[in-house]
Structure 1
Amino acid sequence: MTLRIATTQPAGSADPRANGRLARELMRAAAAEGVRLIHFPEGFLSGYAKEQIADWDDVDWPMAQEEVGEVAALAAELRMWVVLGSAHPLTAPHRPHNSLYVISDEGRVVARYDKRFCSNTEITRFYSPGFEPVVFDVDGYRFGCMICVEINFPHLFSEYERLGVDCLLLSAWPVDSIFQIKAQAYAAINNYWLSLSVPGQSADLMRSAIYGPDGGHLVSVASADVPAVVTLDRDAPAVEMAMKRARPWRAEANRGEIYRSRRVDDPRSADQTCV
């Protein structure tokens, strides 16, 4: 049982209409490659706060919501799942969430991940935080969602490992090149695939990429108008060590009983000053 997924690196703008058109172009390109799930950057559809949006009053929210509907309609037509970054408006005077819409291959928003750990600027000026992880299943593969600065909170990544994800979808607008190294490391530490989607504006720092459960680099986006595609296959020999040996062993180790059951009662163990 395999699954084709794609990550993207479009250069979004403050214009939801233009961003929606670009999203649909990338969806059609991915469909030609047999993709079942396509992944977009943080804040892509609405425009990203701080960089592109200075005030939420500048956003045409009805247009943005209409564009989500157009993307969803095409998802149903193409039989494709879409994970789409966008601000999600709340009732005034509450600030929006920084979100990822999970759109099913039936053209419905079936889940939404709201960024939990916002930056200082985000939480004081732009966004309301979320509080829950989000997982969803596609063709027997489980996915989880995270956004940008959350990369600095390791317990969020291990939480998704405990929730049984096969692939983590990390949407971001990075400001330093170390971000990519952190993402690759989390794939290796947690033994799951990790799809990183960043905007075209980050191309000087990194390319959107997909990493394997052993942390290996599988593919990067070559250009803004071409998605990068990978086939997930849990039974592939290349991932056997990471997914079927290392991951179960690390889960057992984290539970700790294998160590507690071997605790020794020895004065030479208890005295940490002896040689």
Structure 2
Amino acid sequence: MTENGNFKRRVRARAAKTGESYTAARMHVLPRSANDALPEARRLRLAVAQTTHADDPRDTDKLRWSGQEMRLLMRQAREAGARLVHFPEGATSSPNKRIMSEIGPREIGPSDWRRFEWAVLREELDSTRRLARELGLWTVIGSVHPLTAPHRPHNSLYVVSDRGELVTRYDERLLSNTKISFMYTPGSIPVTFEVDGIRFGCSLGMECNFPEIFTEYERLDVHCVLFSSTGGTPANDSSFAAEVQGYAASNRYWVSFSILAHPGLAGPVSSGIVAPGGRWAAQCPADGTAAISLADIDDNPGDIARPWRRKARSGLYEPHRVAGDPRSDARDRF
């Protein structure tokens, strides 16, 4: 009896720590035979960041401050043992639609991207890339990515390796009405990359409103989706956070939720990491300050829910259905 009680306590402790369901946690704790051993879990320490909101890319001092703040958080993440740090949408600058409007600020119109201090942005990104190499830290950065005129820029996530190399870039695909009408060129493809055997997918902006983005990444076998956002409207709205919790639970993978911090605007929402069960494994302070939070994520090899849900979606139930519409049978009526 004591042994069984200890076993249950270990299962509950793991479930509380990882956010897994009791059943999934039990699969990790349960003793297994040598012929039925689980593959060893691959693990990685992930840092999620929230950086100070800056919306005027004409202001060189603010652009440089944003870069310095990112690099400070990168150093903190590495000191805490992080292998990868994940930053919000517009971590370098999240251009305000009214500031950028060529007929603004009272009216919103096409953005005048000549107002952006592109040379300063490039200097800050280069400094950040060099620090990633120095620290040996994978770094995912939200930034505007310029295209050749007359094309509008992309709203992007840069993925910088621990060698300081830009290995890929994700461009927001499903844009808001203002973004697609006046500001950005949409992206077209999902993006995945791998660090230490952990496979990541990227999402951005308001894409948490589109479940198909997250189910697509489940089909692409990711273990964690990195979702970066400004935080929604209003900035402390909790709906984005609730949506990513649901995707983590339904798709059985980790989700890193990185948003901008708004000084003086405390609220219920902050950056954090959601475990496959839908619970928060880590969260930054919800006080509007720049910060990081960390969690050790894994590929969850003992999870039985994810393969079962794939099987359930593959036509499993069709042979068991009654031919025709059973509601037309008089015997099924009250």
TM-score, normalised by the number of residues in structure 1: 0.91
Deviations 1:196-228 (A, max 9, x none): 000012753511111000101111112634310
String of CA shifts for 1:69-123, please: whole Å, max 9, x gaps: 1111111111111110001000011111000001111101110000000000000
Rate the CA distance shift 1:270–1:225 in 2: closer, same or farther, 3 A: closer
3-state SS, counterpart of residue 217 of structure 2: helix
For each residue in 1:242-264, what CA deviation from the matched residue of structure 2 results, as whole angstroms up to 9, or x when unmatched? Answer: xx2111111111112x1123233
1:151 — aligned with what? 208
**Are residue 206 (structure 1) and residue 269 (structure 2) matched?**
yes
Report the AA paired with residue 223 of structure 2: D
Number of the residue aligned with 2:154: 97
Q: Which 5+ residue runs of structure 2 have no aligned equivalent?
A: 1-41, 57-61, 102-111
Partner of 2:320 in structure 1? Answer: 262
In structure 2, what residue type is equivalent to 1:247?
A: R
Equivalent residue in structure 1 for 2:85, among 14, 20, 38: 38
Change (3 A) 1:83 1:52: farther
**CA RMSD of the aligned region, Å?**
1.9
2:280 corresponds to 1:221 = no
In the superposition, relative to structure 1, how do residues 268 and 192 fare at CA in structure 2: closer, same or farther (>3 Å)? closer
CA 1:263–1:228: 2 relative to 1, 3 Å: same
Say whether residues 1:185 and 2:232 are aligned partners. no
CA distance in 1, matches of 2:329, 2:206: 39
Partners of 2:261 and 2:290 within 8 A in 1: no
User: What amino acid sits opposite 2:321 in the alignment?
Assistant: R
Aligned-partner Cα distance in 2 for 1:261–1:48: 54
- Matching of residue 197 in structure 1 with residue 258 in structure 2: yes
Aligned with residue 186 of structure 2, among 121, 126, 129: 129
Shift of 1:171: 0.4
Contact 1:83 / 1:101 at 8 angstroms: preserved in 2?
Answer: yes
The 3-state SS of whatever aligns with 1:8 is: strand
Q: Which amino acid aligns with 1:140?
A: G
Q: How far apart are 1:268 and its partner, in Å? A: 7.1
C-alpha change, 1:36 and 1:161, in structure 2 (3 Å) is same
In 2: Cα distance, 1:189 partner to 1:53 partner: 38
CA distance in 2: counterparts of 1:56 and 1:21, whole angstroms: 23
- Name the % identity: 43
In structure 1, give the amino acid aligned to 2:159. V
1:142 aligns with 2:217: no
Q: Which runs of 5+ in 1 are unaligned?
A: none
Is 2:288 the partner of 1:231? Answer: no
Q: Greater Rg, structure 1 or structure 2?
A: 2
Distance 1:203 1:179, change over 3 A: farther
Query: Using a 3 Å threshold, how does the CA distance of structure 1 residues 245 and 30 change in structure 2: closer, same or farther?
Result: same
Displacement after TM superposition at 1:272 (Å): 6.4
Q: Is it true that 1:79 corresponds to 2:79 in the alignment? A: no
Cα distance, 1:192–1:51 mapped onto 2, change above 3 Å: farther
| Residues 1:10 and 2:51 aligned together | yes
Residues of 2 paired with 1:62 and 1:168: CA distance? Answer: 31
Q: 1:26 is aligned with what amino acid? A: L
Normalising by structure 2, we get a TM-score of 0.75
State the distance in 2 between where 1:192 and 1:29 align.
26
